[in-house]
Structure 1
Amino acid sequence: MKKTFLALVLSGAIIGCNSQTADSPSTTQSQTQVSESQNPKQLAQQVFQSYFEESMALSPVYATFVGMNEYNDKFNAPISEASLAQNLALEQKYLDNINAIDESQLSGQDLLSYQIFKRDRELAIKGYDFPSHLIPLNQMYGIHNMYATLGSGQSAQPFNTYLDYQNFISRTDGFAAYMDSVIVAMREGMEQGVVLPRPIVDKILPQLSVHVVKDAKDSVFYGPVTMLDDNSELTDEQKQQVTEQYRTMIMDVLVPTYDKFYQFIESEYLPKARESVGLSALPNGKAWYEYQIETNTTLPLTANELHDFGQQEVARILEEMNKVKAQVGFNGDLPAFFTFLQEDEQFYWDNEQDVIDAYMAVKDDINQRLPKLFEVFPKADYEVRAVEAFRAASSAGASYQSPAPDGSRPGIFYINTHNLKAQPKFILETLSIHEASPGHHFQITIQQEVKDLPMFRKFGGYTVFSEGWALYAESLGKELGLFTDPYQWYGRLSDEQLRAMRLVVDTGLHAFGWTREQAIDFMAKNSSLAMSDIEAEVERYIAIPGQALAYKTGQRAIRDMRNKAQQQLGDDFDVRKFHTQVLIDGALPMPILEEKIMAWVETQK
């Protein structure tokens, strides 16, 4: 979930809304007019850069994450018809601009960028057919959680200078205004029958109440104040002033904002929350889910195809699990083996610090093995942290946050230690591969570090690519000399089984009318996951339809490309060079990646 954390938070919760103090695109210098006299390559690059600059002006919070600190005092504009229209107009303008360029005059990276950019604008415009702004947050991804992480002092928002602290105070006023607009939008959703399912709403309430504190020092937003003692940039007078300002900001702005939203959710919204859980139950829900499939997989797949593929993979992986059961000499059937894995204390950590220490140790082991399969490596490092307590109860088991583009902040591999029974020791190797190296940390950081990529590609992404790559990376474990312990190999199978079950459950919930209970029963029957983990997973699929489909479809696509390349090149196939080709151009839609890989194969012949 890493890279995905920021991408989903921003695309689902806050991109698409800003006019507050940021320059309006209509007045910036980044207006792009297509002229036939200009060089197509230069014009395309101008279009890409202008789009990125204008989109950052509309999404200043995202701009902070990509290192554009001039926006650190601004927040995205409240949700409104005007802000939605402004964003749609931006997409249409740049689609018109890119269509005016002769594609046949482009090649190499410029052609790749053209194809990606055009596809993205078309898909973004299509998305405005669906009222996602009426359900702008959920328990997994939402501005209510993201802003708390941002303001904790442990994320992208800098807290080094006096101006940094003032910037966040200004940004918080924008956050409060935005949250008011969320209430307005969700009330409109109540009128139109576009509301969140009840189990999702239940999970949001404690995420809000934790920020309604009686003492500012108890707030996660007080974190930057605790950092002042070690800060040499501020004078003592400034430190005292900032401390008072933050107490006022927390108690007079943030606490009332969270409390107001809590009261709205509890008293108004929860009674109107729907009992159905699938996207297809909403108005135009079938088409909406088909759009989610297209967005998350970038492939022409149907719910039926994905459901069947998932069922086949679940059955195959169960057979592999039976082989592990036999290998370790367990007497009993597979369900009994699952129970053994869930209950035996040898498979679980004693405390949070032991979990962090174990993942730091396996990090070093994996890093030493990577040159066997890779020839390009990220420059930035990553660190391992526990998920913050205020969001741990409804967060995924693990996630990844990319490093600062300038290298000032490492990547972060988050481990959820809220329930240690959901973090068994046997997933140690596979989870580290997936979230860190050579999974998300490798892919996302290399993408940020590649020179000359247009900014929209450097900081953009596709769930099917990032999650498909991370799951494919897990499949490299044995080639790297890992998974020699049969229980660690079981952990790999358990992780892949989770992704296979996602195909079945996500389509079941959103296309075939499954209930929350049906989905939970299916996952409990086919895995050794802790029940708390299963419930959190199912509620995640309910909250973000289609995202869970990306893992196995992306893995299958990348593996198929490798198999084709290996078949055609034979002894000349070099897996390290193949991995370079997959990673070196950043995230690509699967059809474009396949075209690129097959073209590379021809050059290798």
Structure 2
Amino acid sequence: MRRAFLAVSIGLVLGITACSDDNQISKDTGSTAIGASSEMSQTSLNKEASVEQAYLALVDDFFKDYLKLEPIYATFVGVNDYNDQFGGDLTNEYLTARHDLNTSYQARVEKIDRSALSPELQLSYDMFAYDRNIALVDEIFPSRFMPMNQFYSTVINMVQLGSGESAQPFNTVEDYNNWASRLTGFIAWTKLAQERMDEGVRSKVVLPRVLVERIIPQLKALLVDDASKSMFYVPISNLPQSFSDADKAELTASYTKLINQELIPAIASLADYFESKYLPVSRASDGWWGLPNGKAWYQHLANSHTTTMMPVDEIHQIGLSEVARILSEMDKVREQVKFKGDLKAFFASLSSEPEYFFTDRQDLIDGYMTLKDQINAELPKYFNVMPKADYVVKPVESFREQSAAGASYESPAVDGSRPGVFYINTYNLKAQPKWGMTTLSLHEAAPGHHFQIAIKQELTGVPEFQRFGNYTAFEEGWALYAENLGIEMGLFKDPYQYFGKLSDEMLRAMRLVVDTGLHAKGWTREQAIQYMKDNSPMAESDIIAEVERYMAIPGQALSYKVGQLKILSLRAEAEAELGDKFDLKAFHDQILTSGSLPMAVMDLKIHHWIETQK
């Protein structure tokens, strides 16, 4: 009953949103015709102000309570009150506290009169209500039994935090003590993770064998015979010169002891657990369908990542249609460059000819820095609002480069002390073709993830949860839309660079087919790999990493295309409705200046904007 109620609640949130927004538009456009008295108007204004204050206080309370529950997240959003805490996302206490947090705030927000809020806060209300419902549905499924994968893991996160180049500050002695305390919490987590995975074994909720095989070398790469060789020793290698000799000596001694006597043994124990105990009982099935209640779980994950209620079978069909369309476009490029051979031969040429690849890792990084300047020169023509924060280009760290994605983005520090990071995986240069650079930069950096995420963090006058919340369909949909915008920006005049754009779009279209194939239709890892080989020029190493990524985080890969298609359809609708009144810069402002939005909420916002522009 609880599951059915929550599923209906999500639909009701979206349905009520639509009706309420229409009422708000009528109210805004027809208020003078009603002829209400000034006293009634003042009473209404006072009520609205009171309701808005109550809503803002509620979401502010929630954000503060959420940061207490998620101390590492607090560090990432620039709140340093909990930098000494690790948190306990696998403990029974955490699970109870998370449930209580979401149920209590769900009940509180339902008491708020949405119709008395401003249009902007109505959007915020819809986001908040949606989040609470989705979070409660999440509790139905035992994700705690699979606390690690090779793509996203607490271990990877902690190494990055300890590098001194992520969100964890290392400026004072207190900062160093805070990190040591957080590491102690992480050490306890490695033991609890094994207990949760044991529960998963008993419940038949375990990772696919190949993913376990990827995790083991990641953990072993962190094992060293001396603390000074550990990645967790980096803060000691970079002790500030301003520290006294006594402080330096004390911190060096305490960190060395912590790493040698507690941290390395804990990671060794975790690695041994995966290799000797977990690997033999890992599952043979590659998709979520192989788990208890797996198909329902996967449909929920698809809903959550796409912020839609689209059935996975429908998503699969959209993917097949998009793959066919993009293949046709690719063949036109083949004809344009007068390649002698069919499309598969063209793929083979682009994937192997030396002229299409760098031979030096730094040359690849430098090439992206040159592209950054070229793209930045065009951006003012298309955007009124641009981020204050800059971004830099860096190679993926060596310990995770073998299984990491080809590229990724890390947001800038909230206080402006650190730029965003556009990570490029330089492990296999044959997986980083020159013809794919423009579209990748547009997606990961500007005006893709860097614009959307940095602008969101820099917003003022919106609740904090909006500044730091995220919806994959919105963020990845925007980044894929940004690739498409490169055509208008004149960045794809070179047919090979345009082919790169099509190749990346093909990747996102194939994801709709492969992700649903793996998790809902019983595809094997090998079937998924072969499908991607048949329909793209991607390097085999990239294809394998992609497929294993979909196996690890089901549903996430669906969000790119679903989000892009929604943004493109809203833009086409606005252009048709507004004609000469359509302003592309203003449209981009509408998309980017409320934070990350569920698809239904974004739809309502843009339709309201269209009406006001008329």
TM-score for the superposition, normalised by structure 1: 0.93
Q: Secondary structure at the match of 1:269?
A: helix
Q: Secondary structure at the match of 1:170?
A: helix
Q: 1:546-588: per-residue Cα shift (whole Å, max 9, x none)?
A: 0000000000000000000000000111111100110011110
RMSD, aligned α-carbons: 1.2
Q: 1:200 maps to what in 2?
A: 211
Instruction: Give, as a single letter, the amino acid of the residue that structure 1 aligns with 2:166.
Output: S
Contact 2:408 2:424 in 1 (8 A): yes
Q: 2:177 maps to what in 1?
A: 166
Pair 1:442-2:451 in alignment: yes
Q: 1:43 maps to what in 2?
A: 54
Q: 1:358 maps to what in 2?
A: 367
Contact 2:89 2:95 in 1 (8 A): no
For 1:78 and 1:481, how far apart are their aligned partners in 2? Answer: 47
Greater alpha carbon shift after TM alignment, 51-60 vs 108-117:
108-117
Q: 1:280-327: per-residue Cα shift (whole Å, max 9, x none)?
A: 211111110110111011112111111111011111111111111111
Aligned residue among 286, 296, 308 for 1:287: 296
Q: Alpha-carbon deviation of 1:108?
A: 2.2
Aligned residue among 141, 152, 157 for 1:141: 152
Same amino acid, percent of matched pairs: 51
Runs of 4+ in 1 over 6 A off after TM superposition: none
Instruction: Give, as a single letter, the amino acid of the residue that structure 1 aligns with 2:129.
Output: K
Residues 196-275 of structure 1: matches in 2 within 5 Å?
Answer: 196-228=207-239, 231-275=240-284
Contact 1:403 1:445 in 2 (8 A): yes
Contact 2:473 2:563 in 1 (8 A): yes
Contact 1:78 1:177 in 2 (8 A): no
For 2:89 and 2:465, how far apart are their aligned partners in 1? Answer: 24
Pair 1:471-2:490 in alignment: no
Q: Alpha-carbon deviation of 1:216?
A: 1.7
Q: 1:24 maps to what in 2?
A: none
Pair 1:418-2:427 in alignment: yes
For 1:290 and 1:449, how far apart are their aligned partners in 2? Answer: 34
For 1:152 and 1:111, how far apart are their aligned partners in 2? Answer: 41
For 2:523 and 2:472, how far apart are their aligned partners in 1? Answer: 24
Q: Secondary structure at the match of 2:385?
A: coil
Q: 2:403 maps to what in 1?
A: 394
Q: 2:377 maps to what in 1?
A: 368
Structure 2 runs not aligned, ≥5 long: 1-46
Aligned residue among 535, 540, 543 for 2:552: 543
For 1:541 and 1:174, how far apart are their aligned partners in 2? Answer: 30
Q: Alpha-carbon deviation of 1:378?
A: 0.2
Q: 1:189 maps to what in 2?
A: 200
Q: Alpha-carbon deviation of 1:240?
A: 2.2
Q: 1:362-398: per-residue Cα shift (whole Å, max 9, x none)?
A: 0011001011111110000000100101111111111
Q: 1:429 maps to what in 2?
A: 438
Pair 1:89-2:100 in alignment: yes
Residues 285-324 of structure 1: matches in 2 within 5 Å?
Answer: 285-324=294-333
For 1:195 and 1:269, how far apart are their aligned partners in 2? Answer: 8
Pair 1:459-2:468 in alignment: yes
Q: Alpha-carbon deviation of 1:348?
A: 0.7
Instruction: Give, as a single letter, the amino acid of the residue that structure 2 aligns with 1:43.
Output: A
Instruction: Give, as a single letter, the amino acid of the residue that structure 1 aligns with 2:57.
Output: Q
Instruction: Give, as a single letter, the amino acid of the residue that structure 2 aligns with 1:286.
Output: K
Instruction: Give, as a single letter, the amino acid of the residue that structure 1 aligns with 2:121.
Output: D
For 1:243 and 1:328, how far apart are their aligned partners in 2? Answer: 60
Q: Alpha-carbon deviation of 1:232?
A: 3.2
For 2:278 and 2:228, how far apart are their aligned partners in 1? Answer: 30
Instruction: Give, as a single letter, the amino acid of the residue that structure 2 aligns with 1:94.
Output: Y
Aligned residue among 557, 570, 580 for 1:561: 570
Instruction: Give, as a single letter, the amino acid of the residue that structure 2 aligns with 1:113.
Output: S
Instruction: Give, as a single letter, the amino acid of the residue that structure 2 aligns with 1:439.
Output: G
Query: Which structure: larger Rg?
Result: 2
For 2:102 and 2:468, how far apart are their aligned partners in 1? Answer: 17
Q: Alpha-carbon deviation of 1:78?
A: 5.7
Aligned residue among 529, 541, 545 for 1:520: 529
Contact 1:78 1:181 in 2 (8 A): no
Q: 1:598 maps to what in 2?
A: 607
Contact 2:48 2:116 in 1 (8 A): no
Q: 1:18 maps to what in 2?
A: none
Q: 1:163-195: per-residue Cα shift (whole Å, max 9, x none)?
A: 111111111110111111111000000000000
Q: Secondary structure at the match of 2:414?
A: coil
Q: 1:332 maps to what in 2?
A: 341
For 2:607 and 2:432, how far apart are their aligned partners in 1? Answer: 39
Q: Secondary structure at the match of 2:81?
A: helix
Paired residues in the alignment total: 568
Q: 1:119-162: per-residue Cα shift (whole Å, max 9, x none)?
A: 11011101100000101110000101111111111211111111
Greater alpha carbon shift after TM alignment, 168-177 vs 107-116:
107-116
Contact 2:48 2:117 in 1 (8 A): no
Q: Secondary structure at the match of 2:262?
A: helix
